[in-house]
Amino acid sequence: MRPTRPLCAALLLALAGCPIEPGPAPRPLSSFQVKVLGVFERVGTNRNPLPVVAPCVALYGSQAAVPSDIKGQAGCRYVIPRGEAEFDIKATALGLDGEPYRDFNGSVSFRVVPGDLPNDLRARWAMANFGEIEATVRAAHPYAEARVWVEDAPPRNIYDGGAVDPAALPASSAHTYASGTSEIVYFADQTLQSLQLPGELDNRSSPFAGNFVSVGKNPSSGATLLQNCSDDPARNGREALMVVTGLDPSGFFVTDISACRVKEVLADGIGNTVRTAEPPEPCWIAQADGGREESVDGGAGKCGISEKTCTRRGDCPGYSPGTFASMFVYNYNFPDNLDEGDLLFTLAGGVQEFTSTTQLVFPSWSTAERVRRLPQAEWNKWLQYARPYDLNARTCGQDNAALPFLTDSLCGHNRRNMKMESLESGLVRIRRARFPRKFENCDFNANGSVPFFCETKPPNEDWQWSTCSFDAPEPEADRVERVCNHDCVIGLNKNAGIICSEQTTFRGFGQYVVELAPPGPSSQGLDDALPLRMQTAVARLSPGADAGMAPNPSVRLTGYGAGAEVAITCSKPARYKVGGALVVAAETDLPIAPGQIVRVGFSGTDSAIAFQAVDEQATCTVGLNAHTRINLITRDAVPELEPDCSEVDPDETRARQCQYLRGAEFDIIGHLRQAQPARPRWIVIPRAADDLCCYPGPGMECPRPIQPCQ
């Protein structure tokens, strides 16, 4: 029943007579005045001022000479740090009247935008002391126009194992959420290189994953994106040139062809080191005629890239194989109005990691030049500078040692391999690759997948391939599939000496295993990156051989065991023979011609190989094959190529094409992508059939539509 009007009036009169308690007085805190006193970085245990960009250094002559009050200004930007930047700040609490509020002694939290604070909660807040806060705020990935924020707010929780450590938080109190920000601290603009260059020896993620970024400048802005190269003077200050290197059914690949060459980082400070460093750049001595020659006897010269003063090659640094300046742009469909070789002004999107390959998603771009509008002879105007890099055993992360390590069979398996990371999404070439001779289905339960495998070292045992479930028992069904998978992909047990690819992986993802060239002379398309994996013998002529008085002497190379496979080449005609420790080559043994590559397997008690010259002195090289493998995807580029074929197919044409495929060796150009769960982890993706060429097997042809290598 509703109350009557007289009752309502009585209630209102009663309420009007009740005293009303006043609410709490508002805290007089309104904001914070924030000043950045300096920006620093840590190198080991040392704390140094964060460097500024090279053009600013050029104005003052050195980093030390740059005045501190212009650092971080628009004309003298800080470099984007590879690790964390440390902002020394002083903040003052301000009252409602705009004057310092000295009664504020609460906790404040920090933000750096753009930037990422440490995961340690203790580093995300500080206490005010009579309205003053002096602190060092650490942040990774600041770039472009960054600001430091101070807020009367609790720090954002970081959950560790599902809970927040209460000891890492300030005492609970009321907050006004008043805030203040510093003036802009200018950092270098983003480039494709800064997006890809990790701050540590770990190739699994971009430092800017999860951020929306913009690279390049539109001409309407009146500015141009320039390279900042402290270690590469020749490219310092050059205009960034982002070239489309290939199109894909779901996007495109782009490379900054003017990006700075990057010194190789040899260690991460916690004991992890590069297995085989890149060779130092040459030390050049200028000649009077304008030429130059390499210093080999201590003459004064300059390093070829860094331009440091040097007297020998060892004084110069080594540089990464790539520039970390390529990226895949995931457009969700084929990119219209874009062609291979086009030049871009700008590129923007969200940074995402897809199986550890960095890509831009929800992208946008503006085109600087459409090469297909030029005469056909100029379509390669920009693309010609995106030269493919030849992958080799050193790039794959192997030791320059006589005997391979367990993981050498998988190119780039170690997640600390920065050589491969520097080339990610760029064009690479693999030489003398051999295709699988066998596809094996290891998906015994027909669920469409097989377990991958990891290297492990059980106590008191050697390194071995095993399960990746280190903290849980492996189900027997998974174990059987996993053993089948690694025996096939690595070439173990029943698959020893066989190039095998797991069939379910091929059918599901289109990727299959190919084997890279073994050690040997690069002039023959082999891999000379690890000299200790090769032995050389000189087969000489007998002094009396011309008169028929004595046969040419035999020379021997030893140290091989059963199961080893080697590649043999000779500079001149020679004969060879495999056998025991005292094997001798004679005139009745097999010949090898100059330029010919002979693959030999050792079995039983074989341990050596001997050579004999025919009619000229011959230098013969024997390279020990580590059977290094990488993944390849050709279904979009060359759909006619069928690697999972049968040499005894009832269809005579298909059988013959399969024989051609398996008997040949291939040079292959393609984009390099990473897939952490895959084995091998790195994949080469050709763009079209002309990215492959073939060295036919004896008496054979190249499989259609592949052309012979020139």
* pLDDT at residue 166 in the model: 73
CB neighbourhood size of 119 (10 A): 10
Alpha-carbon separation of residue 468 from 202, 216, 465, 479 (angstroms) = 19, 41, 9, 10
* pLDDT at residue 1 in the model: 45
* pLDDT at residue 162 in the model: 57
Buried b or exposed e, range 7-27, using 16+ CB within 10 angstroms: eeeeeeeeeeeeeeeeeeeeb
Here the tokens at position 111 are 């933000």
CB neighbourhood size of 130 (10 A): 11
Residue 243: helix, strand or coil by DSSP?
A: strand
pLDDT along the chain (710 residues), means of 10: 50 53 69 97 88 90 93 94 93 94 94 90 93 95 93 81 70 89 95 89 86 89 87 93 95 97 85 88 88 82 93 93 97 92 96 93 95 96 97 96 94 94 97 97 93 92 91 90 96 94 95 97 95 95 66 92 93 95 93 93 93 94 96 96 96 96 97 95 97 95 95
Regarding pTM above 0.85, the answer is: yes
Query: Strand 357-369 and strand 326-330: pairing?
Result: parallel
Given a contact cutoff of 8 angstroms between Cβ atoms, the answer to whether 236 and 229 are in contact is yes
CA 676, CA 412: separation in Å to the nearest integer?
10
Helix, strand, coil percentages for the chain (3-state, nearest 5): 15, 35, 50
Given a contact cutoff of 8 angstroms between Cβ atoms, the answer to whether 340 and 373 are in contact is no
What domains can you pick out in the chain, each with its CATH number?
29-186 (no CATH), 192-279+318-387 (no CATH), 406-516+628-708 (no CATH), 522-624 (2.60.120)
Here the tokens at position 383 are 């693309």
CA 110, CA 139: separation in Å to the nearest integer?
10
Here the tokens at position 615 are 């009619």
Alpha carbon of residue 366 to chain centroid: 26
Radius of gyration of the chain, Cα coordinates, nearest whole angstrom: 33
Please name every residue paired with 294 in a beta bridge, in sequence order, or none if there are none: 284
Alpha carbon of residue 293 to chain centroid: 33
- Say how many CA atoms lie within 13 Å of 320 toward its Cβ: 26
DSSP string, 253-286: EEEETTPPP-BPP-B-SSS-B-SSPPPBPPEEEE
